[in-house]
Chains A and B, each alone.
Chain A
Amino acid sequence: MRDIAGTVACIDGNTFMVSDASGDVESSPSTPVGLFAADTRFLSRWRLTVDGECMTALSVDDSQYFEVTFFAVPGRAVDYVEADVSAIRRRRIGPDLTESLTIFNYGEEDMTLDVRLEVEADFADIFEIKFDIEEKAGTYYTKVGKNELRLGYRRGTYHREVVVSASEPAQFDPGGLRFAVRLRPGQQWSTRLQAVMLALRPDGVDLRSALRAQRPDDSTLPTSMRDWVAAAPTLDTDSVGLQQVYHRSLVDLAALRFAPLSLGGASVPAAGLPWFMTLFGRDSLLTCLQTLPITPSLTPPTLRILASLQGARTDDVLEEDPGRILHELRYGESAAFEEQPHSPYYGTVDASPLFVVLLDEYERWSGDAALVLELEQEARAALTWIDRYADLTSTGYVWYQRRNRVTGLDNQCWKDSWDSISYADGRLPGFPRATCETQGYAYDAKIRAARLARTVWGDPAYAERLESEAAALYERFNRDFWLEDRGFYALALDHDGTAVDSLSSNIGHLLWSGIVPPERAPRVVEHLMGPALFSGWGVRTFADGQRRYNPLGYHNGTVWPFDNSFIAWGLRRYGFGNEAARIAEGILSAATYFEGRLPEAFGGFDRDTTKFPIRYPTAGSPQAWSSGATMLLLRTMLGINPHEDHLAVDPALPATFGRIALLDIPGRWGRRDAFARQRPTSADGSVS
């Protein structure tokens, strides 16, 4: 996994290691390389030398997400003419790090080699790395044993430790370990290195010990991944590119599965490498929505963990309210000492409605009414939150204004960077703000909850109330957000109700939520597919021509695959199959330039100008909702939808793909296949 330029990653949920191409870690305080678990860096240096020379990798095999193999020789790439000594480092991430090191002597002489591994642990919290904070409040210790090196960090009762050991005799010192290796010509030598990561309670028990017992260890990871792939539908297509993207996305979703402490070993999607390797309300909900036809097993644990951590009280630091669904959950030092508000942080306005949307969509696919009953109380609480706590101006909308003025988020919608919400002329609106797509989610949540109230909860009166509230919101929204002269919806409302008049991708989400009257949809679609928004690869977050537009602006002009997948879903909802197909073609074609892996975002440059998608410098990769985008785009191309107890198929294929078949799609119907084939004039499909 090589996405931060020149780095290689090895992942198992929220445990991961990012090294350079030779397998070494030499971290600086502000770069996210090293060995991480639970938002903490347990190894900040892990550097191999042979006779004092560092290693250069000739080749790297990272085809398994949890394992990477480096074939390396001593010396800088330009130095060697003939390598007598070579090495293989096979690294595997499970609950701990294991690395098998083998040294070969292919020379003609006997050799005595000084094999050295430099080890350091800074126990940096991921936020200290992000904000480049070097001062730590606690104290470090180093314990050199005969057979191990223990590096630790304590701050009051907070205690983290890493224990490095080897299967062959080694000499340990505070800076690492060394082996004296004697090799005759043709001989090889091996050792198995291990770094055990401990999050210790005062009684010496690891915080995660109960969880570890229920998770696959490093020996069962390959089986766990094979089972994951085998359980997913099989894609049969004439497009080699699409096949590659599908497989990569499926494997990346497996890599990002992460088991929160309080979920009894079940796993949910972590949001993305390297900064977001934890539970995010919005990301996990949208990823589940994207992947329901492919990997529905992600959804019940996601809904359950978010339900179990649903806000219960009012707290201005965490921005918690009763019923609010969390934004971000962290286990690092900054969360533990409440220097960051992530235990958990609730500063999001869309996770609560999306929680209800996912619950309904999941039931439509799975028929699992039991889960809808189990989570009835939480779903009702999320809906109550929308009306009681989110309507900050009593105008009937979902608004946000941060209450944590130090570390809270300014923008609590999916575009959560500080400058993502602006007028066309560049001015930033005041607070509170109400973004358009959130109102769509709230509308959809009410409509969907009404169905659940009627069919599962047995509460028709509640259903009617929700429907009348939804109808009122629909009226209100179409009055206050619609810019008649421009033909699109305002990005947001300013604190005083003024429409924030910029053109953005957010209007595509409104189609997905169904809050757009059919007669207005063509004008919205015209904007989405017009040159200001559509780059040829996908819909830009922010339209060319707006003052703050920048093709490399994080939320101000880049193309986000996840965003596009929901826009494509919305286009299909309103009957714009060809337009949805154009988006699917653009995004999936872009993926082939990233070895099948869709990054978090890429540049918004015009496709005709650059011919290939431009990498966004700090884009996370893999990213759960980017991998999920592949799955949702497959859904929109095939036009598969649960229809009562059947799977309906209504394909709209882009011309690039001649044939797509998705076999064994799981759902309330058991398993069904969906076929789509390009016909001279239009796509044709069937279900079997």
Chain B
Amino acid sequence: MSETSDFFERLAVAGQDPRFSKVRGSVRFDIRDGGRLEQWLLDIDHGQMRVIKSGGPATTVIKVSAQVADAMARGEVNGLAAITRGEVIVDGDLALALRIGRLFPRASGRSQPDDPDSGA
């Protein structure tokens, strides 16, 4: 099973997130791996979240490659930067897409080169 599938399965089990208590909408992830298309549909209704592995209509569609989706699931992707550079394509409500982006983990304390001038 891919890291992406793991991530969505966990969401499906959680079933809710208080951060979405005022959010309503549906988001579909279209994840392309060569010729293969994997789709996940998230239905959010005031904190309740239904996650199913299927197509179907959604108000917002997020298109990514399987490679980028796995990186997202590992917490390595900054959503807004990825959208700006064309790696993640969003059709529909961008604000909702960014909110959904918060469900993805973030590799905490991402490594960064040390600043040679940093004396403090």
**Using a CB–CB distance below 8 Å, which chain A residues touch chain B?**
155-159, 200-203, 205, 207, 210, 261-264, 308-309, 312-318, 320, 329, 331-333, 335-338, 343-344, 374, 377, 401, 404-406, 430-431
Is B112 an interface residue when CB atoms closer than 8 A count as contact?
Answer: yes
Query: A interface, by DSSP: helix, strand, loop or mixed?
Result: loop
Q: Which residues of B contact A261 (CB under 8 A)?
A: 83, 94
A159-B86 in contact (CB<8A): yes
Q: Which residues of B contact A430 (CB under 8 A)?
A: 120
Fill in one digit per residue for B98-120: 1 if any A CB lies within 8 Å of its CB, else 0: 11001001101110111100101
Q: A155-B85, A332-B84, A405-B114 are in contact. List 7 more A-B contacts (CB 8 A).
A: A157-B85, A261-B83, A262-B95, A263-B95, A318-B78, A406-B113, A430-B120
Q: Which residues of B contact A309 (CB under 8 A)?
A: 98
Is B10 an interface residue when CB atoms closer than 8 A count as contact?
Answer: no
**Using a CB–CB distance below 8 Å, which chain B residues touch chain A?**
19, 21-22, 78, 80-81, 83-87, 89, 93-95, 97-99, 102, 105-106, 108-110, 112-115, 118, 120
A157-B22 in contact (CB<8A): no
- Which of A157, A263, A431 lies in contact with B87, CB distance below 8 A? A157
Given A335-B81, A338-B81, A344-B80, A317-B110 contact (CB < 8 Å): yes
B102-A313 in contact (CB<8A): yes
Q: Which residues of B contact A203 (CB under 8 A)?
A: 89
B81-A336 in contact (CB<8A): yes
CA distance A156 to B98 in the complex (A): 22
- Which of B83, B95, B102, B110 lies in contact with A264, CB distance below 8 A? B95
CA distance A445 to B67 in the complex (A): 43
CA distance A316 to B110 in the complex (A): 6
Q: Could you count the A-B residue pairs with CB atoms below 8 Å apart for me: how many are there? A: 89
Q: Which residues of A contact B22 (CB under 8 A)?
A: 374, 377
Query: B interface, by DSSP: helix, strand, loop or mixed?
Result: loop
A405-B83 in contact (CB<8A): no
Q: Which residues of B contact A377 (CB under 8 A)?
A: 19, 21-22
Q: Which residues of B contact A308 (CB under 8 A)?
A: 95, 98-99
B108-A315 in contact (CB<8A): yes
Shortest Cβ gap from B29 to chain A (Å):
16
A314-B84 in contact (CB<8A): no
A343-B89 in contact (CB<8A): no
B115-A343 in contact (CB<8A): no
Given A316-B109, A343-B81, A406-B112, A202-B86 contact (CB < 8 Å): yes
| Interface pairs (12), CB distance under 8 Å | A158-B85, A159-B86, A200-B86, A205-B89, A207-B83, A207-B86, A315-B108, A316-B110, A316-B112, A335-B81, A405-B118, A406-B112
B112-A405 in contact (CB<8A): yes
Q: Which residues of A contact B78 (CB under 8 A)?
A: 318, 338, 343
B108-A158 in contact (CB<8A): no
Q: Which 4 pairs between the two chains have the least Cβ-Cβ distance?
A: A157-B86, A336-B85, A313-B106, A336-B84
Closest to B77 in A: A338
Q: Which residues of B contact A406 (CB under 8 A)?
A: 112-113, 115
- Which of A317, A318, A335, A431 lies in contact with B84, CB distance below 8 A? A335
Shortest Cβ gap from A680 to chain B (Å):
56
Which one of B105, B114, B120 has the highest number of Cβ atoms from chain A below 10 Å of its Cβ?
B120
B89-A202 in contact (CB<8A): yes
A317-B112 in contact (CB<8A): yes
CA distance A210 to B90 in the complex (A): 10
A315-B106 in contact (CB<8A): yes
Q: Which residues of B contact A401 (CB under 8 A)?
A: 120
Q: Which residues of A contact B113 (CB under 8 A)?
A: 406
CA distance A367 to B99 in the complex (A): 28
CA distance A203 to B63 in the complex (A): 11
Shortest Cβ gap from A647 to chain B (Å):
32
